Amino acid sequence: MTTTSRQNPSLAEMTDLMPLSATTNCADPQSAYSELRARWGQVAPVELEPGIPGWLVLGHPEICNVARNERLFSRDPHNWRMYYEGIVSPDSGLGPMMFPRDNAYFADGDKHRRLRAPIEDALEGMPEHQLAGMVRQTCTDLIGRFVDRGAGDLVADYAAVIPMLVVGRMFGFGMDQAEEFRQGLLALFGSGEDSQAGNRRVEEMLNEIIHARRAEPAADVTSAFLDSGNLRDDYEIEQSMVLMVSAGYETTMTWIAQTLRLMLTDDRFGGRLRGGRLGLDEALDEVLWRDPPMTNMPARYALADCDLAGRRIDRGDALILGFAAANADSRVHSGDPWLEVGNRSYLAYSTGPHTCPAQRTSRIITRIAVDTALHLLHDVVVAVPAEQITPIPSPWTRCPASLPVRFARSATVHN
């Protein structure tokens, strides 16, 4: 730490800050990031919500430093000053992403490694062809529900439905049960009147599948969790399952939706792909560079006073990882997608001990979802002007709120 940085203002002393949501709820996030860089450098103070400031880390190497150094930057929100001093309201909109929960996501060190290992093992142990077959069947079934209408919304009818159904089926639920599970999760995440009932149903269903697999194991995630020596009881198994669904839901939905949106609205991107000059995997990579599903990732909490890119960080400060900003950092990306084919140093999956354990799984899901839609829906066109496709309001992600399309009517779909 340098004396200079201690003389810099603390986060609490900074005024006139840009709201974090100004970087997501706009047509061009990179112009908001440029404005922040010009004023503050690679680490900028922002307002997470009114009265709650935090640091937004914009540089690629700076994010790597933070995400890889858990001795200095904790993942556990109990170390967030705004939280432990009771400054952030218990019903704050930041809660779902920034308040502590008892799972791997919010843990550090040994506890984190113990809770993460079974998730990694379960994901790695899943046979790829079995997963791919199940995903293709799920996507085909979904398209079959609206293909005869000649119109649909590729977010509400498709991208938003796939992740919960697929993860439910990875737990061992059949298609109907997975649909019931999804309805429970939607009620639970929606925090409306039916949220408690949704929570109860999700817990019941998880308990049922845990008991069923204890009696008769199968080749699924639930059996892998039961087999793991690391998860101590049914509570930890259940929490790990809830974590998998919640971590996989918005991310995978956004990746599918952003890829379909770009294919249908960006002629350069869609043309290269349709013309065979860009493979689907490379197109998916390009989306992870341009529009990573987690635009801004919460959060790390400083465990000691320190200096980061010339900014004064105090113990207890929150740091948000600006993945979309870092992906445009000229130190890792030239800005020319042609030159970058094969470069996977994007931060879409983060880095360090908490890096997403589902990189292979989520790519299989997203690749098959995009491929199945393009294969089964003929002559697809977007039904609204591209500029009317706006993101769901959130400081963290930029998932299109809807992607209305028209296509040739067809009575049936075949795999």
Interface positions with ligand HEM (CB under 6 A): 67, 104-105, 116, 119, 167, 243-244, 247-248, 251-252, 255, 288, 293-294, 297, 348-350, 354-358, 361-362, 365
| 17 or 58: CB nearest ligand HEM | 58
Q: Which residues of 321-338 are buried (b: 16+ CB within 10 A; e: fewer)?
A: bbbbbbbbbeebbeeebe
Element (H, E) at 170: helix 162-171
Rounded CA separation 170/166 (Å): 6
| 105 or 269: CB nearest ligand HEM | 105
171 and 224 in contact (C-beta within 8 Å)? Answer: no
| 77 or 357: CB nearest ligand HEM | 357
Element (H, E) at 185: helix 175-190
Residues counted in the chain:
415
| 142 or 358: CB nearest ligand HEM | 358
Q: How far is the CB of 296 from ligand HEM (least distance, A)?
A: 10
Q: Which residues of 4-32 are buried (b: 16+ CB within 10 A; e: fewer)?
A: ebeeeeebeebeebbebbbbbbeeebeeb
Q: How far is the CB of 167 from ligand HEM (least distance, A)?
A: 6
User: Could you say which DSSP state residue 147 is in?
Assistant: G
Q: How far is the CB of 378 from ligand HEM (least distance, A)?
A: 27
Q: How far is the CB of 38 from ligand HEM (least distance, A)?
A: 26
Element (H, E) at 289: helix 280-290
Which of these, 29, 59, 93, 63, lies nearest to 258 by C-alpha position? 29
Structure tokens at 374: 């393009």
| 244 or 302: CB nearest ligand HEM | 244
Q: How far is the CB of 103 from ligand HEM (least distance, A)?
A: 8
| 242 or 413: CB nearest ligand HEM | 242
| 232 or 274: CB nearest ligand HEM | 232
Structure tokens at 43: 């680490």
Q: How far is the CB of 359 from ligand HEM (least distance, A)?
A: 7
Q: How far is the CB of 257 from ligand HEM (least distance, A)?
A: 11
